[in-house]
Amino acid sequence: MKSDIYLGDHRKGEIEIEKENPVFSNRFMTLYDDFVIFPNGQKGTYIRESWNAPYGVMVVPINEDGKLMLVRNFRHHTRRWGWEIVKGFGVEGLSPIECVNKELEEEIGLIAEDIQIIKEFPDNGLITSLFVAKSLKDGVECRESGEAISDVKSFTKKECLELMAHDDCHDILTLFSLSLFVSGQLD
């Protein structure tokens, strides 16, 4: 399995991939132990992970009261619960906007009529886009069987500041999104 990535050039000060070496893959990601050439010309190996999805979406839903909605999610890799924005992998055949509504409906039971892209992030070989979603309407909550979501709650800007100061929100992309919300950049 060969990915379609820029391999780099060690002569330009980059870590060049001499040969991709996939060592594990599942439906979510592929783990590589690539053979590389470091900027000093020395050869070695370097671990790299790559998501197996066409894109990713992150959504900041803001309700009619101007409050930001978060889900209380249990993350396997951190082994703890935390408040997070709505997130998900892109799906072949769905546009990112359609995927935003799919994720909103799955995680909080709502869909949005007003969806705006805020920023794009390269994340382990996957372009993940941050959206703000407004004009929320009832949908059908239909969580995937593997989702570990215990609650959905709306937060004011003041409550978001308090959440940012405590250890109940530890996802860096959620913290970034909260800072945009609190500063008024999503109004």
Residue 138 is predicted with a pLDDT of 85
Residue 69 is predicted with a pLDDT of 97
CA angle 38, 42, 44 (to 5 degrees): 75
List the domains of the chain with CATH numbers. 10-51 (no CATH), 56-182 (3.90.79.10)
User: pLDDT band at residue 3, thresholds of 50, 70 and 90?
Assistant: low
Q: How far apart are CA 5 and CA 73, in angstroms?
A: 32
Q: How far apart are CA 94 and CA 131, in angstroms?
A: 16
pLDDT tens digits for range 14-47: 999 999 999 999 988 899 999 999 999 999 999 9
**Which residues partner with 24 through β-bridges?**
31
pLDDT tens digits for range 127-186: 889 999 999 998 876 777 778 898 999 999 999 999 999 888 999 999 999 999 999 999
Radius of gyration of the chain (CA): 19
Nearest to 61, CA basis, from 49, 51, 71: 71
Residue 127 is predicted with a pLDDT of 85
Residue 124 is predicted with a pLDDT of 65
The token duo for 147 is: 């989702």
Residue 53 is predicted with a pLDDT of 87
Model confidence at 116: pLDDT above 80: yes
Nearest to 29, CA basis, from 1, 59, 71: 1
The sign of the dihedral angle between the CA atoms of 168, 87, 111, 73 is negative
The token duo for 121 is: 């992030």
Average pLDDT over residues 91-101: 93
Model confidence at 123: pLDDT above 90: no
Residue 4 is predicted with a pLDDT of 75
The token duo for 123 is: 């994340």
| Amino acid letter for position 161 | L
Residue 122 is predicted with a pLDDT of 83
